[in-house]
Structure 1
Amino acid sequence: MKTGRPKINVPLEGLDIILDILSATLLILLIAYTALSYSELPDRIPSHFNARGEVDGYSEKSMLWLLPALGIVMFIGLYFINKFPHLHNYMVNITEENALKNYRFSTRIVRFANLFVMLIFGVIAYNIVESSKGNISNIDSWFLPLVIGSSIMLPIILLIYQNKINK
C-alpha cells in the first residue's frame, strides 16, 4: 500500500515503554491465572453474563483458554501495527513537519488500546473463574458502564486532542 507518507522511526518515550510493559505483564498474568486456576474449575464454567452480571450461558472449561489465546493474538497484532505508523489512518494530511507528532500520537493510542484490551480480558477471566468457584462477583455494577463509557468518551477526547496538536 502506497500512502506517500514519510516513513520515520518514532523514538520510544518513557510512557510508551511503560504501556508496553504493563500490557505484556497483564497478558502474562492472564495466562498464569488461567493456568493456575484451570485444574480447580468444574467441567462446565460460566461463559456469558447478562447486563446485570448474572450468568446466562455455560461452556466447557477449555473455552477459558480462548481469552489468553485472543490476548496473545491481539497483543502481537497491536504491537506490530505500531511498527508501521505511516499506514495508520489519520484525519489530517501527514507531512514531514507533522509526521512525528501524529505518528507518536497514533502509536500511543494503539498502546493504550492494547493495555485496555489486556485489562478487559483479565477482568473477564477473573470473573469467569470466580463465578465458576461459586463466588459472587460485583462486576455488574461497574464493568459494563465503564467499558461503554470509555468507548464513547475516549474517541471524543482523542479527536479533540488530535485537532489541538495539528493546529
Structure 2
Amino acid sequence: MVKKFISEDEIPFYTRVFNFISLALLAATWIVPLMAYDALPETVPSHFNLRGEVDGYGNKVLVFLIPVIATFTTGILWFVMNTKNPYFRKFRKPGPYQIQLSEQAQYRVLSTTNLLTALLFLIVEVTMVESARTAIVPSYFFIIFVICGLLIILPLVEAFRSK
C-alpha cells in the first residue's frame, strides 16, 4: 500500500483548488481534439518554431498525442505529489544550492507545477487544433513562452516563500 505524502487536513484550500483546476485542464485537453477531430483536415501542424510558424506536419491523429503526453506527465506529478517516498523528496545532505522544504511546501510546489503543466498542454493543444482548422497560427501563441517561464519561476518563488 502506498503511503500518503501529507494528510488531507494538511492540504491548504488553494492547493485543493489548484488540483481541481489541473484535472479540469487535463479533461479539456482531451475534449478539444475529440470535439474538433471530424472538422480537421487530414494533415495538421505538429510543430511550431520560435516565431510561431508551422515547421512540421503530420496525420490528424497526432492531435491526440498532446493529451496522452499531458496525462502521463500530470499523472507522474500527481503520483509524486501524493506518495510518501524519501527518494522523491529528501536530500541526503543538502548542498549549498539545495533547499530543504517542509512536506506542505513540497506539496504546494508540486501542485503549482502540475497546474502550470496542465495549462501549458491545453494551450499547445488548442494552438495545434486552431492552426489546423484556420491554417493560421493563433495570435496567442506567445502565451506558451510565458507559461514556460512561469513553470520555472513560480515553483522557485513558492519554495523560497515557504523556507
TM-score tier (shorter)? 0.7 to 0.9
Contact 1:53 1:139 in 2 (8 A): no
State the secondary structure of the residue aligned to 2:57. strand
The code of the aligned residue for 1:56 comes to D
Distance 1:148 1:117 in 2: 9
Contact 1:64 1:125 in 2 (8 A): yes
Distance 1:66 1:105 in 2: 32
Contact 2:108 2:158 in 1 (8 A): no
Distance 1:76 1:47 in 2: 23
The code of the aligned residue for 1:9 comes to I
Aligned CA-pair RMSD: 2.5
State the secondary structure of the residue aligned to 1:59. strand
Structure 2 alignment gaps of length 5 or more: 95-100
Contact 1:86 1:103 in 2 (8 A): no
Aligned to 2:97: none
The code of the aligned residue for 2:16 comes to I
Structure 1 alignment gaps of length 5 or more: 1-6, 95-100
CA distance 1:159–1:75, change in 2 (3 Å): closer
The code of the aligned residue for 1:27 comes to L
Aligned to 1:116: 116
TM-score normalised by L of structure 2? 0.79
CA distance 1:159–1:118, change in 2 (3 Å): closer
Identity %: 24
User: How big is the shift at 1:160?
Assistant: 2.9
Give the paired residue count: 150
Aligned to 1:3: none
Aligned to 1:106: 106
User: How big is the shift at 1:151?
Assistant: 4.4
TM-score normalised by L of structure 1? 0.77
Aligned to 1:66: 65
Distance 1:81 1:156 in 2: 18
Larger C-alpha radius of gyration, 1 or 2? 1
Matches within 5 A, 1:1-167: 9-10=6-7, 11-87=10-86, 88-90=88-90, 102-134=102-134, 135-144=136-145, 146-154=146-154, 156-162=156-162, 165=163
The code of the aligned residue for 2:160 comes to I
User: How big is the shift at 1:158?
Assistant: 4.0
